[in-house]
Amino acid sequence: MFDVAVIGAGVMGCSTALHLARAGMKVALLDRGAICREASGVNAGTLTMQMTRAALIPYALRAHAMWIDMGAWCAGGSVAALACPGLSVAFTDAEAALLETRATARRAAGAPIELVDGARARQIEPGLSAAALMAGHCPIDGFAAAYLTGRAFRGALVEAGVDLRENCAVTGIDPGFRLRTAAGPLAAKRVVLAGGVWLEEMAAWLGVRLPIKVLVNQLVVTEKMPPVMGTVLGIASGLLSLKQYPNGSVLIGGGWQGLGDRMRGGLAVLPEAMLGNMRLAAHTIPALRDARILRAWTGLEAETADALPAMGPIPGVPDAWIIGSVHSGYTSGPVMGRVLAQAIAGETPVLPLFPIDRLLEAKAA
């Protein structure tokens, strides 16, 4: 019998499982696929304070440090996280107004964001288009290579004694708890649901109705290029994320929607959305026009009704917990897993939970 079974091996599940194992629990971590192959492995890797919702700034600040220093707490694992300045750019007066509102809110929550004019922005980022009017500047933004997340966590999980069961789909949870899996039943005193967009299905296993919205985010990556930018860039509206990795490739994102759903996964990139996203990118960093596009893909991102995390105990089901649906959860993942692990272990969490009572609809029959 496991002390806890964590269902879903994305960044939330991995971080929770790792911290619980280090707290002395016997942990099983299950995933119907391989570790970190969904949102956690395919997202833009942006570690920015500027697109993080104000309420999540404290989490993002702590998690930023954890990502940068991942080797120290994750058995040498690395997602190649870099700290660098971030700029959120405005090209129109309307965008400038939006920028000021957002920056103010985030500053109030503790993020060191200053507003700079176009000339100063171009000093910070020389490749930035001359059409940029102003920008929000955060000196401590950064980014990571999301595809490294699985390998980064896996070694540490195994070393910590977590029983990692990949390609082991859970199909239901009976009281006790007794997880029904394709490989037979698995018994655990506690369960943690960490299934990203599939939290809705998972919650239903426990008779809880929690609607989760699915976003199908597109990303495009270029071929390796000479250096064209050094910051992590966004646009006031949030519709662009841009970063150039040390190997020269530039990753273009911003939440443009592709085709997909929970049942079929990320299905296809939509060329019109790709084109709009690329045009925004080239408008912001004109040198990108010279690049070749190598790959595009979609990833599924979860969002609750109020766009705030689902993180805490599951009401009415003792010893059942839930974590995820953070929207830009990758940024805060490591610290959220730690916080939940503290709560499960009976300690005082270093930051508040986000109890899901506020989100629940009438219990399923």
Q: Which residues bind another protein (CB under 8 A)?
A: 34-37, 41, 51, 53-54, 91-92, 98, 101-102, 105, 131, 147-148, 150-151, 154-155, 166-167, 222-223, 237-239, 255-257, 259, 261, 263-264, 267-276, 278-280, 282-283, 288-297, 307, 327-328
Q: What is the C-alpha radius of gyration for the chain, rounded to an integer number of angstroms?
A: 20
Please identify, using beta-carbon distances, which residue of 183 and 187 lies nearer to another protein: 183
Please identify, using beta-carbon distances, which residue of 160 and 268 lies nearer to another protein: 268
Q: Is residue 60 a contact partner of residue 109, using CB atoms and an 8 Å limit?
A: no
Please identify, using beta-carbon distances, which residue of 97 and 275 lies nearer to another protein: 275
Please identify, using beta-carbon distances, which residue of 79 and 343 lies nearer to another protein: 79
The 8-class DSSP code of residue 288 comes to G
Shortest approach of another protein to residue 133 CB, angstroms? 12
Cis peptide before 177 (omega within 30 of 0): yes
The 8-class DSSP code of residue 123 comes to H
Q: Which amino acid is at 158?
A: V
Shortest approach of another protein to residue 253 CB, angstroms? 11
What 346-354 contacts at long range (C-beta under 8 Å, 24+ apart), as own/partner pairs, is: 347/23, 350/62, 351/58, 351/59, 351/62, 353/311, 353/312, 354/308, 354/309, 354/310, 354/311, 354/312
Shortest approach of another protein to residue 115 CB, angstroms? 17
Going by C-alpha positions, the residue among 225, 49, 231, 226 that lies closest to residue 124 is 231
Distances (CA, A) of 30 to 74, 136, 167, 185: 19, 41, 8, 12
Which phi-psi region, left, alpha or beta, contains residue 113 (left: φ > 0; alpha: ψ -120 to 50)? beta
Please identify, using beta-carbon distances, which residue of 101 and 171 lies nearer to another protein: 101
Shortest approach of another protein to residue 178 CB, angstroms? 27
**CA triple 153-5-7, angle to 5 deg:** 65
Please identify, using beta-carbon distances, which residue of 194 and 274 lies nearer to another protein: 274
Shortest approach of another protein to residue 327 CB, angstroms? 7
Compute the distance between CA of residue 37 and CA of residue 78 in angstroms, rounded to an integer: 16
Residue 19's CB is within 10 A of a number of other CB atoms, namely 23
Shortest approach of another protein to residue 123 CB, angstroms? 22
Give the three-class secondary structure for 169. coil
Shortest approach of another protein to residue 175 CB, angstroms? 32
Please identify, using beta-carbon distances, which residue of 1 and 131 lies nearer to another protein: 131
Shortest approach of another protein to residue 231 CB, angstroms? 19
Please identify, using beta-carbon distances, which residue of 147 and 178 lies nearer to another protein: 147
